[in-house]
Amino acid sequence: AATMNPEYDYLFKLLLIGDSGVGKSCLLLRFADDTYTESYISTIGVDFKIRTIDMDGKTVKLQIWDTAGQERFRTITSSYYRGAHGIVIVYDVTEQESFNNVKLWLDEIDRYACESVSRLLVGNKSDLVGRKVVDAAAAQDLASSLEISFLETSAKNSDNVEKVFLTMASDIHQRLSAEEGAIHQQSRGAQTPRAKINTLGLYVSSDSGGFY
């Protein structure tokens, strides 16, 4: 059996992707540090923060990677997809193009991430009611067609920010538990080390992309 790290039961790696300026870093700062700033600083390459949460009596460590939205960083950021357990696609509800580009980001997931990765769609800046151009119903339709969750958030006033990451953590946990059960059935307990890495998320295999 794998030796558990006493500090946590699970380590889930999450990735924030989406167009530049949609508020990915603000969502991360709000969730990890409970802070918010109006000043916009473009993320260079990748950055990450950690927050530990309690889920059904288990300690879950979330390692959340914030990626640059600009095209010029795409080669750097693409290597981070593969090790991710969950990917949050963020658009700006006041910016139609950022929503239109969600499909392009989904293509990136299909290209680089593992097939069963958990996905969640987020429309950020919901506090800017008067400037909103992307209808929630349109986003919900897209999410429903992909069979993924959708939430509107405001990193500025904290609306739904916790819910995004808790929903994602819960989804990953359920998926990995189901996968682990299926593996146990197939092998009658003779798990391969590779399966152990994927299901428990406690160790990072040497081929997990950009994670370390």
Mean pLDDT by 10 residues, the chain (212 residues): 70 95 95 88 81 93 89 74 95 99 95 94 98 98 97 98 97 90 68 45 41 40
Confidence at residue 113, expressed as pLDDT on a 0 to 100 scale: 95
Q: Which pLDDT belongs to residue 34?
A: 92
Sequence spans of domains, the chain? 10-178
Query: pTM of this prediction?
Result: 0.82
pLDDT for res 40: 74
pLDDT at 206: 38
Q: For residue 195, what pLDDT is reported? A: 42
- State residue 182's pLDDT score: 78
Long-range contacts from 22-25, C-beta under 8 angstroms, 24+ separation: 22/69, 22/90, 22/91, 22/92, 22/95, 22/98, 22/124, 22/125, 23/90, 23/92, 23/124, 23/125, 23/155, 24/66, 24/67, 24/69, 24/90, 25/66
Q: According to the model, what pLDDT value does residue 189 have? A: 52
CATH number of 10-178: 3.40.50.300
